[in-house]
Chain A
């Protein structure tokens, strides 16, 4: 048995807004301001959730309950797929030493399901920045096979110093702003997000036409600069969707302003799309790089933009890098998009491409 899988509902809470529609509206308006997060003597730009609660766990509960509210009622038996790269490490930072970590790495997912009002199957995924699409891939695979009829896939990444310090110590962070594909790009800007999609076998506006994950072991912190593995995954995804490169009308880039990864993605896109390069859009300069939540957050944000036929300009891009020689959208567009490709390129070698196709 194999059947199509549709995205029935989306939910999103991030620095730009408290629903997919408000985020899309903020993106359309060009909002991209970030706050700051201090790490010892250093401060980094940071996209925090619009929540004032200081207690890490209560703040997490507020965020998850907001997402549950946006999704609306669903059967308590609905399977839950949780994607995160840091789970509740911020909670233990706040509690301080001695750190009483539970033995089960994803025990936080139990709380998430409780806050979501879900008591069915629950799975957790941690594949760094591609966690969201890994979870999406697992859920849609077993919906397509008929093992389940629907699933909620939730990405969650909440503030913590461990991740920020880890990226900082490897000099992967910008001290100013994310500049996707820009000649002056100098690193990532991290952020928080909680986002979810409700997948169903029943028809809805957007169908998952293709989804492929891959692995690039070139380096633990970035892909092969030639982009060959990224290109392989995108081509696999097109093949699964039974589409040609020319059928893709918009690409949501991974591009976060990382000197090496942006170049690798550009090289991959050139090899796949050649002279038929679709419009390119990066959301990370406006949302931050939300790591394990980025797949779900950027999917929810993008679909809201496409539903409104309002594609925002890419924040942070002003100067072409001659080595990249690709231009993200700098003007807004009201084009009606039928098919979009979304890329994720992860810390730790993870790669993923997703194609969504409008139905009806």
Chain B
């Protein structure tokens, strides 16, 4: 059985992110772009210390990506007279986030980053389908799925943590399921927030997530 172990939604004023990192780590994380900082504070909040060495996959998506950092790099490359600063280039590479947080999540074995191509929809249905598939295959013990975004005025992280084994207080299990359900939510960037609201309401027993595109199967959450 694949279980949901955590839902988490975080929102920061960008200037407060380094302090959130210090609070989580007890020290600053040097030379880390905002997406890396968001990944770190979210992942550590999802996984208690005793689970951080378990084989883990991180599947994350982003609408903004490193947009502000890309603008900085473009300015340097196109308007400047010299080559860019190395850190300014590294900050435009979102894949680096996983490598930079591996020190603090030693079980992090693999990561996949999906930039989104529009502001309205997300790929939670794909991330969760992959997570369920990989957990069922035994490819890892837990999967972190996330949506991380940052702009000049806000930085946000939405997270779902999934495990192959139920934990105390796991709120729901999930499975890939055929067909449609009347009680479903759309695939939007803040889906974990809506899922958390459903869990708190304690009304219907199941909830489905449907991709807006033609994926044959849906992901169904059932309360535990």
Return chain A residues, CB-CB under 8 Å to B77: 93, 161-162, 165
Contact indicator A110/B112 (Cβ below 8 Å): no
Given contacts A103-B119, A109-B117, A122-B213, contact A213 B74 (CB under 8 A): no
Q: Does A120 contact B (CB under 8 A)?
A: yes
Say yes or no: B117 contacts A127, CB within 8 Å: no
A215 touches B98 (CB 8 A): yes
List 17 A–B pairs whose Cβ atoms lie within 8 Å, in order of A's numbering: A93-B74, A96-B78, A101-B67, A104-B116, A108-B117, A110-B117, A138-B126, A141-B133, A141-B134, A142-B215, A146-B216, A147-B217, A161-B77, A162-B89, A166-B89, A169-B85, A348-B99
Give chain B residues whose Cβ lies under 8 Å from the Cβ of A349. 95-96, 98-99, 102
Distance, CA A97 to CA B71, complexed state (A): 10
A158 to chain B, nearest CB (A): 15
Known: A93-B77, A220-B100, A346-B95. A126 touches B133 (CB 8 A): no
Contact between A161 and B78, CB atoms less than 8 A apart: yes
- Max chain A CB contacts within 10 Å: which of B113, B119, B130? B113
Does A8 interact with chain B (Cβ within 8 Å)? no
Which of B15-23, B38-46, B57-65 lies at the interface with chain A?
Answer: B57-65
A107 at the interface (CB under 8 A from B): yes
Residue of B nearest to A109 (CB): B117
**A109 cross-chain contacts in B, Cβ below 8 A:** 117
* B83 adjacent to chain A (CB < 8 Å): yes
B200 within 8 A of A: no
Task: Determine the distance from Cα of A120 to Cα of B129 in the docked complex, in whole angstroms.
Answer: 17
Residues of B within 8 A of A103 (CB): 63-64, 67, 119, 151
- Other CB < 8 Å A-B pairs besides A85-B95, A123-B123, 12 of them? A40-B81, A97-B78, A122-B117, A127-B111, A142-B133, A145-B133, A147-B176, A162-B73, A165-B77, A165-B84, A217-B102, A220-B100
Do most interface residues of chain B lie in helix, strand or loop, or is the interface mixed?
mixed
Residue B103 lies at the interface, judged by CB distance under 8 Å to chain A: yes
Chain B residue at smallest Cβ distance from A103 = B119
A89→B74 contact, CB < 8 A: yes
Query: B181 an interface residue at 8 Å Cβ cutoff?
Result: no
B70 within 8 A of A: yes
Judge whether A128 is part of the interface by a CB distance below 8 angstroms.
yes
B residues in contact with A79, CB < 8 Å: 213
Q: For residues 82 through 106 of chain B, which have their beta carbon under 8 Å from a beta carbon of chain A?
A: 82-86, 89-90, 92-96, 98-103
Contact B95 A105 (CB under 8 A): no
Question: Which of A85, A124, A148 has a CB less than 8 Å from the CB of B117?
Answer: A124
Contact partner of B114 (CB less than 8 A), chosen from A125, A142, A216, is A125
User: 1/0 per residue A145-157: CB within 8 Å of B?
Assistant: 1111000000000
A288 CB contacts on chain B under 8 angstroms: none
B83:A168 contact, CB within 8 angstroms: yes
**In the complex, the 3 A-B pairs of residues with the closest C-beta atoms, listed nearest first:** A105-B65, A349-B99, A166-B89
Interface range, B side: 35 or more
In whole angstroms, how far apart are the Cα atoms of A123 and B43 in the complex?
Answer: 23
Contact of B217 among A77, A146, A162 (CB under 8 A): A146
For A110, list chain B residues within 8 Å (CB).
117-118
Q: Do residues B113 and A126 form an inter-chain contact, with CB atoms below 8 A?
A: yes
CA distance A167 to B93 in the complex (A): 12
Report Cα–Cα, A53/B119, bound state, in Å: 31
Complexed CA–CA distance, A42 and B103 (Å): 37
- A125 & B216 in contact (Cβ 8 Å cutoff): no
Flag if A147 contacts B99 (CB, 8 Å): no
Nearest-Cβ distance from residue A168 to partner chain B, whole angstroms: 6
Residue of A nearest to B127 (CB): A138
Contacts of A348 in B (CB 8 A): 93, 95-96, 98-99
Interface residue? A132 (CB, 8 A): no
Q: Is B110 in the interface zone, CB < 8 Å from A?
A: yes
Cβ of B108 under 8 Å from chain A: yes
Q: Which residues of B contact A259 (CB under 8 A)?
A: none
Task: Give CA–CA (A176, B98) in the complex, Å.
Answer: 32
A5 to B120 alpha-carbon distance, docked (Å): 31
Are A89 and B215 in contact (CB-based, < 8 A)? no
Assembly CA distance A319 to B109 (angstroms)? 35
Whole-angstrom CA separation of A163 from B86 in the bound complex: 11
| B211 interfacial contact with A, CB 8 Å | yes
The distance in angstroms between the C-alpha atoms of A27 and B210, with both chains bound, is: 46
Question: Is the pair A213, B112 in contact by a Cβ cutoff of 8 Å?
Answer: yes
